[in-house]
Amino acid sequence: MRNTTASAMALLLALPVAAQAEIRLGASVSATGPAAFLGDPEAKTIEMMVEDINEAGGIDGEQIALTLYDDGGDPNKARTFATRLVEDDEVVAIIGGSTTGTTMSILDVAEDEGIPFISLAGAISIVDPVREYVFKTPHTDRMACEKIFSDMQAQGISRIGMISGTDGFGASMQAQCKDVAGDQGIEVLADETYGPQDADTTPQLTRIRNTDGVQAVLNAGFGQGPAIVTRNFAQLGFDIPLYQSHGVASNAFVELVGPEASQGVRLPGTALLIGDRLAEDDPQYQVVNDYTAAYRERYGQDPSTFAGYAHDAVALMVDAMRRADEIAPDAIRDALEATQGFVGTTGVYTFSPEDHLGLDPSDFRMLEITADGWKQID
Amino acid sequence: MTWRNKWLQLAILAIAIAVLPLFFPSGYYYRVGALIFVNALAVVGLVILIGYAGQISLGHAGFAGIGAYACALAPEHLGLHPALSPVLGAVVSGVLALLIGRPILRLKGYYLAVATLGFGILVSMVLTNERALTGGPDGMQVADLGLRAVLRDLGWRLSGGEFWYGASGIVLVLGAWIALNLFDSPTGRAMRALHGSEVAAATVGVDVARQKLRAFVISAVYASVAGSLLALQNGYITPDVAGFLHSVEMVTMAVLGGVGSVLGATLGAAILTLLPQVLTVFAEYEQLVLGAVMILVMIFLPQGLLPSIARRLRGRDE
ipTM (interface predicted TM): 0.85
- Would you list the DSSP string of B269-282? HHHHHHHHHHGGGG
CA-nearest residue to B34 within chain A is A80
What are B170-212's pLDDT values in tens digits? 999 999 999 999 998 999 999 999 998 889 999 998 999 999 9
- List of chain B residues whose C-beta atoms are within 8 Å of the C-beta of residue A167: 137
Model pLDDT, residue A138: 93
N-terminal to C-terminal alpha carbon distance within chain B: 14
For residue B107, pLDDT beyond 50? yes
Per-residue pLDDT, averaged over A115-123, amounts to 93
For residue A14, pLDDT beyond 60? no
Residue A373's alpha-carbon distances to A249, A252, B317, in angstroms, are 12, 12, 77
- Residues β-bridged to residue A244: A219
Q: Is residue B275 part of a domain?
A: no
Q: What angle do CA A197, A198, A204 make, to 5 degrees?
A: 145
Q: What angle do CA A45, A49, A51 make, to 5 degrees?
A: 120
Model pLDDT, residue A11: 43
Model pLDDT, residue B293: 80
Topology at the third CATH level for domain A141-275+363-376: Rossmann fold (3.40.50)
Per-domain residue ranges of chain A: 2-140+287-362, 141-275+363-376
Domain A2-140+287-362 has CATH 1.10.1040.10: no
| Strands A365-370, A373-376: pairing kind | antiparallel
When mean pLDDT is compared across B139-143, B144-148, B268-272, the lowest value belongs to: B144-148
Share of chain A above pLDDT 90, in %: 66
Model pLDDT, residue B139: 87
What are A126-149's pLDDT values in tens digits? 998 899 999 999 999 899 999 999
Model pLDDT, residue B4: 60
Tally of structural domains, chain B: 1
- List of chain A residues whose C-beta atoms are within 8 Å of the C-beta of residue B244: none
Partner residue opposite B236 with nearest CB, options A105, A112, A123: A105
Is B137 in CB contact (< 8 Å) with chain A?
A: yes
Probe site for chain A from B24, B28, B130 (most A CB atoms < 10 A) = B28
- List of chain A residues whose C-beta atoms are within 8 Å of the C-beta of residue B138: 99-101, 104, 123, 168, 171-172
Q: What angle do CA A285, A288, A291 make, to 5 degrees?
A: 140
A88/B234 touch (CB, cutoff 8 Å), yes or no = no
Model pLDDT, residue B299: 86
H or E element, residue B53: none
Per-residue pLDDT, averaged over A321-340, amounts to 94
When mean pLDDT is compared across A49-53, A198-202, B142-146, the lowest value belongs to: B142-146
Residue A307's alpha-carbon distances to A73, A312, A368, A377, in angstroms, are 16, 9, 21, 24
- Would you list the DSSP string of A127-164? TSS--TTEEE-SPPHHHHHHHHHHHHHHTT--EEEEEE
What are A203-258's pLDDT values in tens digits? 999 999 999 999 999 999 888 899 999 999 999 999 999 999 988 888 888 888 98
Q: Quick one: pLDDT band at residue A34, thresholds 50, 70, 90?
A: confident
3 state SS of B243: coil
Rounded to whole angstroms, the Cα distance separating B96 from B77 reads 20
Instruction: Give the mean pLDDT of chain B.
Output: 89
Q: Is residue B98 part of a domain?
A: yes
When mean pLDDT is compared across A116-125, A208-217, A250-259, B267-276, the lowest value belongs to: A250-259
Model pLDDT, residue A12: 42
Domain of B14?
A: 3-244
Model pLDDT, residue A300: 92
Single-letter residue type at B152: R
Model pLDDT, residue A15: 40
Rounded to whole angstroms, the Cα distance separating A313 from A301 reads 20
CA-nearest residue to A121 within chain B is B138
For residue B301, pLDDT beyond 50? yes
For residue B38, pLDDT beyond 90? yes
Per-residue pLDDT, averaged over A307-326, amounts to 94
Q: Is residue B121 part of a domain?
A: yes
- List of chain A residues whose C-beta atoms are within 8 Å of the C-beta of residue B238: 75, 101
Q: Is residue B181 part of a domain?
A: yes
CATH fold match for the domains A2-140+287-362 and A141-275+363-376? yes
For residue A320, pLDDT beyond 60? yes
Probe site for chain A from B240, B273, B280 (most A CB atoms < 10 A) = B240
Model pLDDT, residue B296: 86
Model pLDDT, residue B316: 55
Q: Is residue B260 part of a domain?
A: no
H or E element, residue B15: helix B3-19
